[in-house]
Structure 1
Amino acid sequence: MGQNLPECGRSTDLEPVCGRPHGVRLDRHGQLIVVDSYLGLYSVDPQTGEKTLLLGNTQGADGVPFAFLNRLEISSQSGVIYFTDSSSRWGRRHVKLEVIELNSLGRLLSFDPASGRVVVLLDSLFMPNGIVLSPDEDFLLLAETSIGRILRFWLRGPKAFTKEVVMDNMIGYPDNIRLSDHGTFLVGITTPRFRRLLPPFLDLIAPYPAVKRFLAKVVPLRCYNAMLPRYGLVLELGLDGEILGTLHDPDGSLTWSISDVFQHRGRTYLGNTDLPFLPVLDQWDG
């Protein structure tokens, strides 16, 4: 999405220059809407590859630039784009620092391509990540990854423009949320919050801000992966947030750190933050 350099993709240090697309959806006109973590919202012609900047990170909203654009969802009724900015401090390549510091520096926003208007719907969020519209588009579900919570933000009805907690103190840290083939919600759990011998690493350090600041300064980001369990987990939720089913890979033999779950024509595709391939399940009954 940014400069096309030979070094792009080899180091996260070049992400601000090369760009890092973090969410992709098709709009009503057959155009790809891409949210780039460092550069902004784009419309991309899937036939020609031509890209058009809709909203830049430097422009931001309410005087605050975007630092970590993450996910998006598009209304099939109005064409409005809903998206998350996970932090106003840390960029995508420093995502682990955002989680460790446990900052409430994220926002949920909307952008109307017709008018060019951007609106802050919610602020002071803990690393807002994946979002999904309900089947009739009367509310959004939103994952707050760093505190293991899922919110519902009402778009219509008597509770319009208010939020409520759907799930809290979750068994793991939610990443993306998607609609299943039959209208339920599928949640990818990037890291479970349990270990066989010790408490979860992030829970262990959560009450100690000084320890977290120290770790953020001295521990290389790549070292944190060794402290996290390799466990694949997906949750299936009903419209009211009740758990309807789960999918487990307890020893990570196929996948772990599940970031996204997408169903299409009977197959389930499992996105991942660590592995260089895409696991595909021919059948999952929940």
Structure 2
Amino acid sequence: MGAKGIFKFFARRFVEIAVVALLLLFMPNLPPYTKIEEPFSVSPVKKLEGKLALKEHLSDVQIWHKGDLIGPESFAEYNGELYASVLGGDIVKLTGEHITPVVKLGKPCKGGYEERICGRPLGMQFDKNGKLIVADAYYGLFRVNVKTGDRELLVSPDQEIEGKQTKVFNSVALASNGDIYWSASSTEFTLQDGVLDLLADPSGRLLHYDAKTKKNKVLIDKLHFANGVQLSDDEEFVIVAETHRNRIHRYYLKGSKKGTHDIFIDGLPGMPDNLKSDGKGGFLVPLVVPVDSDHIAPSQLIGPYPKIRKIAARFLGVLQLAFETVDKHYPNEFSKKAVYSIGHLASTASLFKASRTTILHVSKNGEIIDCLHNLNRNISFICEAHIHKDTLYLGSPFNDYIARIPLSKIGWQHLSSKPATQKPTTTTQKPTTTQQPTTQKPTATQQPTTQQQTTPKPTTTTAPQKQTPPAKEQVPPTQKQTPPTQKQAPPTQKQTPPTQKQTPPVQKQTPPAQKQAPPTQKQDPPPQKQAPPQKQTPPTAKQTTPPSKQGTKPTPSPKQEL
């Protein structure tokens, strides 16, 4: 084929495409049945320099539960346990290496391509009573008891809010009074047709659910795929991500600007998704799809041209209609999967794998504090960054794993939410270390050492044996009456503040006294009755006043000295 033939070939193809495009543009009653009239543009993207400089922070990220779950979209925690929402309509609890199903909000289905039947839980957060507030993309806003699996529908997809129904329930943020701030990504398309929503005019909204009146109010309208929602730590404002415009909006709840909204941060080098608090007043902002000079989003590129967007949307809509018609007359799995894949955002993601994954740390004022990057492509499409104890967990709607990395490896250890449970253990060990010096201090004196050797024995023996120490204490008086030699020996040791060399003999003589003590108890039972109180166990007072047997009465005072 010569040059002339090649030219004719491409000329014919161009004419055919032009004819098809014109038919799609002007032919009436073609899907999707929505408005595609408003041009839009995206703010210039911030340069990857300074705080956004391309530094490898997430190269050592760990791939966790690979193949065990699909699409871990969002995380929530309660009582130190981590929960995740996954593809298939399930919410699971992650305990170490174990995955425990908690609740399923949708209905039984055959696979992910029947997402509208399975249900798709997205954003979720625990309230102060331990109930989980969940936004299921298809089934609505729920309150779930994770212990029993009971659920309560708070907002239904059939419910009209200011004249429109919600097609995609996306994210939630809970106020201290129980109110819920949540996002509706679209009022025109379901999540299964997310690509069509990006091509159409924006219809996303930020809403407020009043826990007392159970009524909803629209706070911000016409957001291009409204996504993550998060309250400031003082609940002064709430922010919501506008994914397709690379920016985040702020709605004021208090102060002089109450009831108004503005742009919190714009020109992000990617599309923001779920928003999370850093626990210190700031926010974590993952960019699910990177946008820069090397990563161009086609849907944003044709944003200023509504007619081109309309042609693209109708092309996809007609394809879907064709497979739906086939499946209606000849039900088959291939047609169902084709309808699902044509408009779903997962299909767009599968066409390419971005070379950059980015997570931003943003201050309360909308300033970028830090930035994490992954450039080796071992992770991608990260939609949520959640801090659990001392680890950063990374979720994605498209991956079959959870990525995680210790905060210490990325320099974020100051953001750790791990409770200081080890402090009490260290304090309990400190008393044990302090008791040892106290026991050593009495050993500097000769007689307390014998007390420490004798007092442990009663504690390990029974009650009658506990009375033997008093017998030991009375041994010196009995030794005074019978063996005068032993009587004189102790006083000499007391009068001569003796050297430590003389003390060992005393300890050697005391054991025989312990052997003689039982006979003294048998021969003189009354002394055991007179020396009843186990309070007299400290023999220091009796040794200080050896001559009188009445010294048994003031024995409680030495106990206080100890």
TM-score relative to the length of structure 2: 0.48
User: Which of the numbers 131, 134, 138 marks the counterpart of 1:34?
Assistant: 134
Alpha-carbon offset, residue 228 of structure 1:
6.0
- Structure 1 residues 24 and 227, CA, compared in 2 at 3 Å: closer, same or farther? same
Q: Which moved more, 1:24-33 or 1:223-232?
A: 223-232
User: Which of the numbers 359, 369, 378 marks the counterpart of 1:234?
Assistant: 359
Identity fraction in percent: 30
Cα shift readout 1:227-270 (whole Å, capped 9, x = no counterpart): 562421101101111111111112422x1111111112121011
Q: Which residue in the other structure is 2:168 paired with?
A: 68
Indicate yes or no: 2:148 matched with 1:48.
yes
Q: What is the letter of the counterpart of residue 255 of structure 2?
A: G
Within 1, Cα distance between the matches of 2:258 and 2:109?
48
Alignment map for 1:114-125 (pairs within 5 Å): 114-125=212-223
Indicate yes or no: 2:389 matched with 1:265.
yes
Q: What is the letter of the counterpart of residue 140 of structure 2?
A: G
Note if contact 2:172-2:228 (Cα within 8 Å) is conserved in structure 1: yes
Alpha-carbon offset, residue 36 of structure 1:
1.1
User: Which of the numbers 124, 130, 134 marks the counterpart of 1:24?
Assistant: 124
Within 2, Cα distance between the matches of 1:178 and 1:3?
26
Indicate yes or no: 2:244 matched with 1:146.
yes
Alignment map for 1:38-117 (pairs within 5 Å): 38-76=138-176, 78-101=177-200, 103-117=201-215
Q: Which residue in the other structure is 1:201 paired with?
A: 298
Structure 2 unaligned regions, length at least 5: 1-103, 317-341, 413-562
Within 1, Cα distance between the matches of 2:146 and 2:369?
36
How many residues are aligned here? 279
Note if contact 1:191-1:228 (Cα within 8 Å) is conserved in structure 2: no
Note if contact 2:357-2:382 (Cα within 8 Å) is conserved in structure 1: yes
Within 2, Cα distance between the matches of 1:55 and 1:95?
21
Indicate yes or no: 2:84 matched with 1:4.
no
- Structure 1 residues 141 and 161, CA, compared in 2 at 3 Å: closer, same or farther? same
Q: What is the letter of the counterpart of residue 135 of structure 2?
A: V
- Structure 1 residues 63 and 160, CA, compared in 2 at 3 Å: closer, same or farther? same
Within 1, Cα distance between the matches of 2:274 and 2:368?
16
Q: What is the letter of the counterpart of residue 183 of structure 2?
A: T
Q: What is the letter of the counterpart of residue 96 of structure 1?
A: V
Within 1, Cα distance between the matches of 2:203 and 2:130?
33
| Matched position secondary structure for 2:166 | coil
Q: Which residue in the other structure is 1:248 paired with?
A: 373
Note if contact 2:353-2:380 (Cα within 8 Å) is conserved in structure 1: no
Indicate yes or no: 2:281 matched with 1:183.
yes
Within 1, Cα distance between the matches of 2:360 and 2:187?
29
Alpha-carbon offset, residue 18 of structure 1:
2.5
Structure with greater helix share of residues? 2
Larger radius of gyration: 2
Within 2, Cα distance between the matches of 1:145 and 1:59?
25
| Matched position secondary structure for 1:257 | coil
Within 2, Cα distance between the matches of 1:245 and 1:35?
29
Cα shift readout 1:166-199 (whole Å, capped 9, x = no counterpart): 2122211100111114332100101111253x74
| Matched position secondary structure for 1:72 | strand
- Structure 1 residues 85 and 238, CA, compared in 2 at 3 Å: closer, same or farther? same
Alpha-carbon offset, residue 3 of structure 1:
4.5
Note if contact 1:87-1:106 (Cα within 8 Å) is conserved in structure 2: yes
Q: Which residue in the other structure is 1:285 paired with?
A: 411
Structure with greater strand share of residues? 1
Cα shift readout 1:75-119 (whole Å, capped 9, x = no counterpart): 12x110000111111111112221233x22111111123321211
Greater RCO, CA 8 A, separation 6+:
2
Note if contact 1:181-1:264 (Cα within 8 Å) is conserved in structure 2: no
Note if contact 1:140-1:153 (Cα within 8 Å) is conserved in structure 2: yes
Within 2, Cα distance between the matches of 1:230 and 1:49?
40
- Structure 1 residues 27 and 170, CA, compared in 2 at 3 Å: closer, same or farther? same
Within 1, Cα distance between the matches of 2:398 and 2:376?
15
Within 2, Cα distance between the matches of 1:86 and 1:3?
19
Q: What is the letter of the counterpart of residue 211 of structure 1?
A: I
- Structure 1 residues 149 and 5, CA, compared in 2 at 3 Å: closer, same or farther? same
- Structure 1 residues 142 and 159, CA, compared in 2 at 3 Å: closer, same or farther? same
Q: What is the letter of the counterpart of residue 84 of structure 1?
A: S
Alpha-carbon offset, residue 42 of structure 1:
0.9
TM-score relative to the length of structure 1: 0.91
- Structure 1 residues 55 and 200, CA, compared in 2 at 3 Å: closer, same or farther? closer
Note if contact 2:109-2:117 (Cα within 8 Å) is conserved in structure 1: no
| Matched position secondary structure for 1:48 | coil
Within 2, Cα distance between the matches of 1:203 and 1:23?
25
Q: What is the letter of the counterpart of residue 389 of structure 2?
A: R
Q: What is the letter of the counterpart of residue 126 of structure 1?
A: H
Within 2, Cα distance between the matches of 1:53 and 1:200?
36
Q: What is the letter of the counterpart of residue 85 of structure 1?
A: A
